[in-house]
Every structure is written in structure tokens, then in C-alpha cells.
Homo-oligomer: A and B are copies of this chain.
Amino acid sequence: MNYFSSDFKLGILGGGQLGKMLLNDTRKFDIYTCVLDASNEAPCKIASNEFHLGDLMDYDAVYNFGKQVDVLTYEIENVNTNALEALEKAGVKVYPSSKTLKTIQNKAKQKLFYVDHNLPTAPFSRFAYTSEIEDALNHGGLSLPFVWKSTQFGYDGTGVKIVKSVADLDGLPNVECIAETLVPFKNELAVIVARNVSGETKTFPVVEMEFHPEANQVEYVICPARIPDAIAKKAIDVALKTSEAFNHVGLLAVEMFLTQDDTILINEVAPRPHNSGHQTIEASYTSQFEQHLRAILNLPLGRTDSKVGGVMVNLVGAEGFSGNVVYQNIDAIMNLNGVTPHIYGKKQTRPFRKMGHVTIVNEDLNEARKVAEQVKKTIKVISE
């Protein structure tokens, strides 16, 4: 199939910032794109050839949209997978597959998948309802502290809570959930694996993530991670095995914990371009977005090594501000060395909402890390 002709249509489910950055790279290849999103203010509304309004969890909306395209992908996990499955049966190429997404969508299923495939992950118990946890604690089937995770619709830190006492269970939704052993870790790492339809595989360098204490969102991504080569190799091996186990097509971002005793444990995966790969736009030979396109269109994968060191800072809404967004001091950060802001184009800010990111590149990674701190101190996402 000729992707570079207007007979070809690429469908993207979700019109958020990931879709927007993916669309940017479709422009380089002049690929005809159709986007489905529920919001008329979605960042993807421009830069796509066709923008369709519809609920991504609605079977008919997804099916009818998908029927019009040749290859279908998604920038968010919360998508109607039954519709994806029906589309696959109808001959639409869905990458990553509905089977993969069904496994990943449910955190209990995802964890069981790791166990079934001998992939390292922290011990856990599954509960049909949060209300069952207290019994398990009383009867010794579970001990404090642990990490509570709702099995579905967790995003940007929602649906996850560290439970240190029974009281911490109060106010948690009474849904299917898992209780995961709280792993004391040195470091959170991530590796993005790209795998095309023919099975060609490439990995981006291991990155190091620094999280915001309250918001449970990535604050800095540092590429490459400042860890020994032997550990980097271990992390890449785990990521490759995971992609292999899923028989994955497209990008798979594998988030991992590095424990005190240098064990690698899979935290969770995302079957799409990922926040831990944004720095590839400026730092890598191939951006994660271009690589995802190459993979799902079964084109040869691009180089994944870095031209320079890269640090990524998320721009999240400041606490205490909601409403029409203002990027305070954005011109000041543009005066710093190797700084590129990426504004996602969301009109409204609210505390901890992802509004953009800033990439800092430098031949010296430590210098980039210093500038990143200045960026963090200087720019503020507030409201009018």
C-alpha cells in the first residue's frame, strides 16, 4: 500500500497532545490523517485532514470512524476495544492490536500477563472491590503498606494511592483494584521499544524519571539515564522481552523500577508515544512520533540513539489556578541555552493538568539538567 498517496488514510483515536505531536510528523510524510475525539477544542483539530467528533468509549463512534481508514492507531488507552476487535475482523489494520490494548487497559490483567510471561513485576493481589481489601488486611492475606491501583481508567496519577493505614482506604472508589507490594526503589526508568509490522525492533535509550511528589506525574525525564551500562542493558532486555511477549506493533513504553538491590521490575506499560519520550523530538535521530509512524506503516525504523543529551520538563497547571491559561515567563525560558517549549494548545488550565512540556538539549547532559531546573523555577502555568 502506498502511504504517500491520498488514497491512504491513517486514523488516530484521541486528539490530545500525543496525537498532535504525532500529526506533526505525518506532515513530513504528507500522510492523510483522520482524528476522532470527543472535544471540539482538541489540540488535533487542526493539522489533521479530517477531524471527527465522537466518544472514544462508544462502540459505534469508534467502529464507524475506523471503517473509513486503512490503518488505525490511538494516542490514549481509554478506547472501546470491542470496536477495535470488530474493525480488525473487518480488515482494518489496528496497531497496536485490540488484544494488546485489552490486556493493558486492565491493570490486573496487565500484571497477570507479566506473571504468565515470566516478566519481572512487583507482587500484587487483585480485588473485585476496594471494600474487600480491609478483610484481606484483617485476615493477614495482605499487609500494609501497599499501593492501591484501580484496574481501569487510571491516568495522570488518578487511580493510584499509597495506602499506609486502613484510614487511607477511605474515599477510594469501590471498584476492581489491585494491591501491589510497595517497592522501595532507587530510580524509575523507562524504555520505549519500537516494533514494526515485520517485527523489526529498536529501543530508545533508557531514561530516568523524576516524579512530582504530590501529583504523581513525571517532573523531569533525563536521557540517557545516569546509571551503569550493565543496569541499562538489563532494563533494555526486560523492555524487549515485554514487546516480544505482546507481539507488539508500534511503540511500547515500558516503565520500570530499579530496586535497592538493582532488580528491574516492570511498573506499567503504555502502547503509544509516551511522556518519557518527548525529548526524542530534539535529542534523538528519530523522534518517538516518527518512529511510531514508521512502525505502524511497516516502514524501516529510524536510528534511536541521541544526537545530544536531553532533559524534559512537564508544564503542568500551577496549584490554585484554573481558567484561561497564561504561560508566565515563557520568553524568559526561551532565552536559556537549548530550550524548546511545546505548548499543547489546551485553552483551560487546572492544577497539575498537562499543558505542555519543555525540552532542554545540550552536548553536556549535566548542563541540560541545570538549565531544566532554571526552566522549572522560571515558567509558571497560571490563569488570566
Contact = CB atoms under 8 A, between A and B. Distances in A.
Q: How many copies of this kind of chain does the complex include?
A: 2
Q: Could you say which of A46, A299, A302, A327 has the most chain B C-beta atoms within 10 Å of its C-beta?
A: A46
Interface in A308-347: 308, 326-327, 330-331, 334-335, 337-345, 347
Interface of A: 2, 4-6, 20, 24, 27-30, 43, 46-49, 285-286, 290, 294, 299-300, 302-303, 307-308, 326-327, 330-331, 334-335, 337-345, 347, 361, 363
Contact of A29 (B29, B47, B343): B343
Given A27-B47, A27-B345, 9 more contacts: A4-B343, A5-B326, A30-B43, A30-B343, A46-B47, A300-B331, A300-B334, A302-B339, A307-B307
Q: Binding site of A, secondary structure by majority: helix, strand, loop or mixed? A: loop
Which of A285, A335, A347 is the most central at the interface, judged by chain B CB atoms within 10 Å of its CB? A285
A345 B4 CA distance: 9
A184 to B, nearest CB: 38
A290 B340 contact: yes
A280 to B, nearest CB: 12
B294 A28 contact: no
Given A5-B326, A30-B343, A326-B2, A337 B47 contact: no
A196 to B, nearest CB: 11
User: Which 10 A-B pairs have CB atoms at the shortest separation, nearest pair first?
Assistant: A300-B335, A30-B345, A30-B343, A307-B307, A47-B47, A300-B334, A307-B308, A4-B327, A28-B342, A299-B334
Given A5-B326, A47-B47, A49-B46, A334 B294 contact: yes
